[in-house]
Structure 1
């Protein structure tokens, strides 16, 4: 119950701001949520974090309190959030989902939650068409957008009989699950034996219908691009594109490690087409990969939440975190253009990625020293908010140890 939960501070119930909204309640997330809290804090907007995962964003001086809860998959998740609003004076606050599981829960309960909070997501009946990969690829193909070669299997027997072109990757149909496969996000298989072993393991964890199998598009981070934006009722408020130049692992990233603003007009056009088709509302990042075999972009994934390199937006001059507050209060967001070449870095993992690239003879694009000189935002560190940056290294080491090595 909200009255029993652990929290960082015990401040009085929030008084309404001049805008009439008590503040922002963020559900889950990690580095993207931290960057969002900093953007809002710069505008003196009170921020509350509700999380059952990493404590990283809660160490920010811009987060007024962090509330622990059973998580978005718990039976009483919606009731928890509604009671939290009533007991902490947060009725009418803006609710932002910071993780994949939180997105699903909030969108599925949008009608009920909208009675207590202001929402930043469309209802699930529209959002599922970009969140669930099989539906995303179906809708993208209908719109004439390119996707990776994708195989559909309903059983291990069908998978074993299929004629595949290797290497392939296996993915969960949507992120945010608690299984080993969901946590890994992507599993690579270079031959039939490896594929059948991986498929059987994944299907045993999340069900065969929830395992997506695709041909691996060659190339690393230098081929990966993203569209980042804030949308309001089916139209973009602010948007820009970026190259996810380095990632970890280096061939198909669990997370981006070096991202820089770039001109990618075909990604902008494809993203607008896809998001208008569902009448999107709120934050969104769409991942693309350019296939070096034909030079064309293919849609990989859609993240309707703060993404890991969300801090790049404010650093580049397009403060999507601040703009979401403007939109919620019915104000037009100021026009903004992202400064080309501005970069974001996840230093700890990027150093590992650079070493791995060097060991394979794949030099970091433009040189590693040059890339450091373009960084204007870091995954966790900020001079005026240092604690998350100090805690990120031991926290990352602990998560790698417990979630990857020991498991």
Structure 2
């Protein structure tokens, strides 16, 4: 295993789980971030090397040159794995240049960007017969009439470019309940120079959210896949997974696999679906083009995505696999789940009893690992510092 793995973004548990999934196999892991501050993922005992790079957005050209200079010094091309959407965008923009020095699953420049852009994804899904929530573009004729007749209130104002929107507003979307709130949301997006679309809210509690997690080989064929069901998100109703279980749903494969294959996808992708509580139809919500929040859950149930990626790109593809039974195991991000539970109970969407009962399932922790505890202590220190500062400011 002469090929190292350069892992971009270690200040979040996605980077941490990626490092662990590779390190347990003795693969040399290189944790890259723009700052040591809060990069608790790199504290893992499975981190072989730590590097501080120029900021990917503020100094993009220097960042790309940094990656290329590092790769040139290696005896074999490193594998490049981004663990944040912003890194995915930068890699896609410079894909042809980086592929001269790195092993990267995707070979089509621009494909990541297409799939991450909500408006383009919506069009591609429709073209291939995949259900998507009804959508109205801001510049359409009779905009407000279409909102009233087709979308109806409440509805969501959703960015076409999620990373930029989240960086600006610290949320994934705006939920609006009337015309006045809609106009205010549109003005906020316009003032920030961000493009948005308006979508119908698919009915159903958060447990109607599902994922299709798949690896596609260099022939763009699904070789490994697992399906999951979300139970709790943070922020609630329109946030990221904090408590999600593995659950076999064949229909998700039947919809998701052909779509990704037709797109010519290579490597890992996660499609988020929502099941309409009234019709039972699955609607495609978004596609995650990087290692997922649920990565440790996938690993615990037998699908080690970073390792599968590494082995195929270095010439030793792993056998196909599909989890077609239920394990009852759940992914759990304890800190944010506590915040979510508080809000679910406050809004009467869950009871204390329901939450208590859920805590006894076997878990795949976002951060904690008995064999590798240092990142959890580093993370606890970060959270403790934030709480202290908040109290001190008062």
TM-score by length of 2: 0.88
Measured in 2, the distance between the counterparts of 1:148 and 1:25 equals 37
**Structure 1 spans left out of the alignment, 5+ residues:** 1-16
Displacement of 1:33: 1.8
User: Aligned to 1:60, which of 29, 34, 44?
Assistant: 44
Pairwise CA distance, 1:51: 1.8
Q: Secondary structure at the match of 1:279?
A: coil
Q: CA deviation at 1:296?
A: 0.8
Whole-Å separation in 2 of the counterparts to 1:191 and 1:388: 44
2:78 is aligned, of 93, 118, 126, to 93
Residue 381 of structure 1: CA displacement? 0.6
Q: CA deviation at 1:140?
A: 0.4
Matching of residues 1-400 of structure 1 within 5 Å: 17=1, 20-21=2-3, 23-28=4-9, 30-52=12-34, 54-73=38-57, 74-76=59-61, 77-87=63-73, 89=74, 92-154=77-139, 163-164=147-148, 165-177=152-164, 180-181=167-168, 183-207=170-194, 210-233=195-218, 234-253=220-239, 255-338=240-323, 340=326, 341-363=328-350, 367-395=354-382
Q: Distance in 2 between matches of 1:245 and 1:68?
A: 36
CA offsets 1:131-179 (integer angstroms, 9 cap, x no match): 2111111010011110011111139x97567534111112221232276
The Cα shift of 1:181 comes to 4.0
CA contact (8 A) 1:345 1:375 kept: no
Q: Cα distance 1:26–1:400, how it changes in 2: closer, same or farther (>3 A)?
A: farther
Matched residue SS, 2:293: coil
Query: Gaps (5+ residues) in structure 2?
Result: none
Sort the Cα spacing of 1:327 and 1:181 in 2 relative to 1 into closer, same or farther, 3 A: same
2:48 alignment partner, SS class: strand
State the distance in 1 between where 2:251 and 2:265 align: 19
RMSD, matched Cα: 2.7
Equivalent residues of 1:128, 1:135 under 8 A apart = no
* Greater than 6 Å deviation, 4+ residue runs: 397-402
Q: How many residue pairs were aligned? A: 379
Instruction: Report the Cα offset of residue 195 of structure 1.
Output: 1.2
Q: Please give the secondary structure, in 2, of the residue aligned with 1:377.
A: strand
How far does residue 366 in structure 1 lie from its aligned partner after superposition? Answer: 8.9
Give the whole-Å Cα distance in 2 for the aligned partners of 1:398 and 1:124: 41
- Offset at 1:225? 0.2
8 Å Cα contact 2:77/2:101 also seen in 1: yes
Residues of 1 paired with 2:52 and 2:201: CA distance? 38
Alignment partner of 1:258: what SS?
Answer: strand
Distance change >3 Å, CA 318–CA 163, structure 1 → 2: closer
Name the CA distance, whole Å, in 1 between partners of 2:359 and 2:60: 46
- In the aligned structure 2, how far is the partner of 1:294 from the partner of 1:401? 48
Q: SS state of the match for residue 286, structure 1? A: strand
Q: What secondary structure sits across from 1:163 in the alignment?
A: helix
